[in-house]
Chain A
């Protein structure tokens, strides 16, 4: 068990280093810099700006500087959001993205699991067919379309939710529903497959033979096994959902982290872009780690080495 932890931790360090290096080289290759702006500067001032952002140094010096700074946990100053350090940007945005994400996940899991279980139990029925068609549609429709429709319906036609913003429970409902919908659809499909698989297992037949009700068989015996693929899907999904969704945050004006992922790259805010990439790496890695741990809890056959 200890060895398992140590090995994973080493893996994280190596992964972070590789991600840092690749991202650094990619950013180096992109034209423009944080000093690009509509009004061009006299060459002397432009050189001054380049010096400030150290882009006048040879790449290996920039690399060592950035790497050693990031190693201390200080991710540097954002070059576009000039009044903030990258750490402050993350500190302000991550909790908001995360709480929106958790709300969306809750919704996704509840809806997805119920739909998946019902579909599996009534396989081939109209309920199964319509739920799975809905799920397919849910996966196929991009979230900005869902969000647009939801706003038209629940903001303008039936005005029960505010159009955008952050700070009240009512403002949270629409964005998390829109964000969670695609995940719910995916979870429903995975649950259904997992349940069908589990329901045909010998131990389920044994449970039935003992005379348990079909409901108890499904919930107590088949579901835990069927959950395993859902859990491994949820790991990376949680990492993605916690760091925020660009589209949903933009449409609902939610001050999370998602928007920064795209804008940092577009505006050549290299420090912020790097900080976010590293954050995402850590989260993704941690989530996969938790998935592995939860396997040990959910599935008695798995032993962590």
Chain B
């Protein structure tokens, strides 16, 4: 009996202690401004992040040469105060402001940018956005060692001693690449795969101080041939890359091509600076912990709780701190869209980034002062596998496109006022006339299909529509299947795969028709057009046309802005005639923002820097005066 009582008491005490811990152990004072930031962010490292939720945090923590202006997301001065661009549009000289400071009080200098851009390009940083640095002369060659050729100046990074943080660089040897050789001893990995077709050219013969030495990328424990030295990596000599620190406050960037949108890219977070001393002291990812991280942006990160929140506090070293109005900001990670919406409706947050589509449809029936969907730089389209018959026939692809009633899709299947798309490039790209594919025309579509040998859809094989598992995608695919059935007499089946498998299938062209959405990286049609060059990583249709490739490369080198746009227009014209893709609709933004939130604008890229947001306490919920967000979109 005694044992039982003790057992019970122990259980009760443990339970109460746990509850007490849960309640009092994790309290934070309330924030001035809270918003739901979708899913848990993957990282706060500017070089490693890729998504929208990450961006909202990172652009508050770090500031590049420029920052994204809240009104139109174009370049606004950041760490750079003024800049000059050469006549040919290839050389940018930036003058850094002298009062830009890191959160530890040290000045932000040109050297910080040089370090950070090199780090972004370094393959060992594993950045997915390394290509943001490839606009620089030799930037791509620095990242991709496979592009090194005999005669190139190279830097050999030696292996690190044990216990050194992974972000420190090994000792550097500078030399000239003489040739590359295949190593005689094959590594276990390639031997096991049995891929002996082409031995890898993995030995670098480099001339250093007049002596030839042989290097192989290998760890201290790997076996290497006798006369070969182990190293961490062999890269192009970084001095070859188009980046020059002229003095502490002057930075020169040289580009391969005149890139009219380059300034906008500099305002984008991957090219933001990181603090070398901090990164090298703690190593990755430990330097990103709130207690270690050193930042230069308008906010500091004071707490980061997994799947709960990131807490930002206004930085008192930021150069423009007078114009940062919010003191404490919480970015809540809320996975469930309905939950996020509930938080918004119960006023626990002032900004809901993505309310659920089914709720929007209801809300939009009445005028509201906190919801104003506006066009966005994102296109929803179908990829057609042009290597698979019958989709290898252009007429079939056109017929499929012309048999889709996009108006019905946006009316029935989406519901937040999405815009039917007949082009890949979204509207309102400045200076660009979008090129459209043929409109909805079932009769003409049937005729084309008959010409291709399938009158009334007879003999047309069953085709499959692939999408990643999601109710919204399913609804769209169902509807299009029905439209094809009714308008062309052909049968389609649906196949859904969850994200990872779906990505794999798309990359390996293991599909017939597949959905995809593309968010523009910058405000220029090129962000869409250059996907479809032959062999492009994101082409994924098998579409290959030398003429198209030439248009894209010509546009890249064209200095004249009008001519450049004409070239890009021609490329889209070609894409819309050949139709390796079928555009379906353009996304609209769907933020819900309380009327007292000011400095929040509708922008094409759906970017809303927290730096510029402020709270107007005098405004009540039913205030008739619209805030910036509710102003009609041009």
- A residues with a Cβ closer than 8 A to B are 30-33, 36-42, 44-45, 48-49, 52, 56-58, 61, 77, 80-84, 88-89, 92-93, 95-96, 98-100, 102-103, 105-106, 151, 155-156, 159, 162-169, 172, 224, 250-253, 255-256, 259, 266-268, 294, 297-298
Are A102 and B18 CB-contacts (below 8 A) given A82-B42, A251-B339? Answer: yes
Q: Assess whether B285 is interfacial by the CB under 8 Å rule.
A: yes
Contact of B50 among A37, A52, A77 (CB under 8 A): A37
| Stretch of B301-309, B408-416, B597-605 on the interface side | B301-309
Nearest-Cβ distance from residue B437 to partner chain A, whole angstroms = 23
Chain A residue contacts of B305, Cβ below 8 A: 92, 255
Among A31, A52, A172, A294, contact of B22 (Cβ-Cβ < 8 Å): A172
Beyond A251-B339, A253-B340, 7 extra complex contacts between A and B, CB < 8 Å: A81-B40, A95-B22, A102-B15, A103-B22, A159-B346, A255-B307, A266-B500
Please determine whether B503 and A224 come into contact, CB atoms closer than 8 angstroms: no
Partner of B346, one of A58, A105, A163: A163
The answer to whether B320 has its CB under 8 Å from any CB of chain A is: no
Q: Does B472 contact A (CB under 8 A)?
A: no
A37 to B50, CA, bound (A): 10
Instruction: Chain A residues near B338: list those with CB within 8 A.
Output: 251
Q: How far is the CA of A255 from the CA of B334 in the complex (A)?
A: 9
When C-beta atoms are compared, the residue in chain A nearest to B123 turns out to be A48
Check if A103 sits within 8 Å of B43, measured CB to CB: no
Q: Which of A57, A81, A102, A294 contacts B306 (CB 8 A)?
A: A81
CB-nearest residue of chain B to A296: B3
Please, which residues of chain A bring their CB within 8 A of the CB of B499?
32, 36, 266-267
Is A103 within 8 A of B15, CB to CB? yes
B141-149, B426-434, B546-554, B583-591 - the one binding chain A: B141-149
Interface presence of B197 (CB below 8 A): no
Instruction: Name the segment of B23-31, B106-114, B311-319 touching the other chain.
Output: B23-31
Give which listed residue, B15, B23, B193, B503, contacts A38 with CB less than 8 A: B503
Given contacts A83-B43, A155-B342, A162-B348, are A31 and B4 in contact (CB under 8 A)? no
Q: Decide if A167 touches B192 in the complex (CB within 8 Å).
A: no
B336, A253: Cβ atoms under 8 Å?
Answer: yes
Q: Which residues of A contact B27 (CB under 8 A)?
A: 167-168
Contact B44 A58 (CB under 8 A): no
> A40–B285 contact, CB under 8 A?
no
Residues of chain A within 8 A (CB-CB) of B306 are: 81, 84, 88-89, 92-93, 255
Most buried by B among A95, A100, A163: A163
Contact A44 B45 (CB under 8 A): no
* A273 CB, nearest partner CB in chain B, Å: 12
The answer, among A42, A102, A166, for a CB contact under 8 Å with B144, is A42
**Contact across chains for B14 and A102 when beta carbons are under 8 A apart:** yes
B28 touches A41 (CB 8 A): no
CB contacts (< 8 Å) of A58 on chain B: these are: 188-189, 192-193
In the bound assembly, the distance between CA atoms of A49 and B332 in angstroms comes to: 30
Is the Cβ of A99 less than 8 Å from the Cβ of B501? no
Which B107-160 residues have C-beta < 8 A from chain A? 123, 126, 128, 130, 143-146
Going nearest first, the 3 A-B pairs with the smallest beta carbon separation are A32-B500, A99-B22, A163-B342
| Distance of A169 from chain B, by nearest CB (Å) | 5
7 A–B contacts, CB within 8 A, in A order: A45-B144, A57-B189, A83-B304, A99-B18, A255-B308, A266-B498, A266-B499
A36 to B22: give the CA distance in the assembly, Å: 36
What's the Cα separation between A167 and B123 when bound, in Å? 41
The CA-CA distance from A61 to B192 in the complex, in Å, is: 11
Least CB distance, A267 to chain B, in whole angstroms: 7
Contact of B128 among A31, A37, A77 (CB under 8 A): A37
Q: Inside 8 A of B193's CB, which chain A residues have their CB? A: 58
B130–A45 CB distance below 8 A: yes
Q: Across the interface, which residues of B come within 8 angstroms of A57, CB to CB? A: 188-189
0/1 string, B322-340, CB within 8 A of A gives 1? 0000000000111110111
* B residues less than 8 Å from A96 (CB atoms): 22, 26
Contacts of A81 in B (CB 8 A): 40, 42-43, 306
The smallest beta-carbon distance between B514 and chain A, in angstroms, is 13
Residues of B with C-beta under 8 A to A88: 306
Contacts of B50 in A (CB 8 A): 37-39
Q: Are B335 and A44 in contact (CB under 8 A)?
A: no
Q: Which residue among A155, A253, A266, A294 has the maximum number of chain B CB atoms within 10 Å of its CB?
A: A253
Residue numbers in B under 8 Å from A253 (CB-CB): 307, 332-336, 339-340, 343
Q: Which residues of A contact B308 (CB under 8 A)?
A: 166, 255
Chain B nearest CB, measured from A56 CB (Å): 6
Cα distance A163–B332 when bound, in Å? 14
Quick check: is B104 within 8 A (CB to CB) of the other chain?
no
Kindly list chain A residues whose C-beta atoms are within 8 Å of the C-beta of B22.
Answer: 95-96, 99-100, 103, 166, 172
A265 to B15, CA, bound (A): 31
Say whether B339 contacts A37, CB under 8 Å: no
| In the bound complex, CA of A52 to CA of B48 (Å) | 14
Chain A contacts of B288 at CB under 8 A?
83
B616 at the A interface (CB under 8 A): no
| Contacting pair B537 A82 (CB below 8 A) | no
CB distance from B462 to the nearest CB of A (A): 23
Does B19 belong to the interface (CB within 8 Å)? yes
| Contact between chains at B339 and A56 (CB < 8 Å) | no
Chain A residues near B334: list those with CB within 8 A.
164, 253
Residues from chain A with a CB closer than 8 A to the CB of B130 are: 45
A168-B23, A169-B23 known; A83 and B285 CB under 8 Å? yes
- Within the complex, what minimum Cβ distance (angstroms) separates B351 from chain A? 15
- Please name all residues of chain B whose beta carbon is closer than 8 Å to the beta carbon of A82 when the two chains form the complex: 42-43, 45, 48, 285
* Residues from 262 to 306 in B contacting A, C-beta threshold 8 Å: 285, 288-289, 304-306
| B346 near A99: Cβ-Cβ < 8 Å | no
Given A44-B144, A48-B123, are A259 and B18 also a contact pair (CB < 8 Å)? no
Contacts known (A48-B126, A168-B23, A297-B4); A37 close to B503, Cβ less than 8 A: yes
A103 to B538, CA, bound (A): 49
Whether B45 lies near A172 (C-beta < 8 A) is no
Alpha-carbon gap, A90 to B80, bound state (A):
42
Cβ A164 vs Cβ B307 within 8 A: no
- CB-CB contacts below 8 Å: B1-33 with A: 3-4, 7, 14-15, 18-19, 21-23, 26-28
Q: A56-B189, A164-B339 are in contact. Are A32 and B332 (CB under 8 A)?
A: no
Cβ contacts under 8 Å, A156 to chain B: 345-346
B540, A40: Cβ atoms closer than 8 Å: yes
Distance in angstroms from B334 CB to nearest chain A CB is 5
Name the residue of chain B whose CB is nearest to the CB of A168: B23
Q: How far, in Å, is B363 (CB) from chain A's closest CB? A: 15
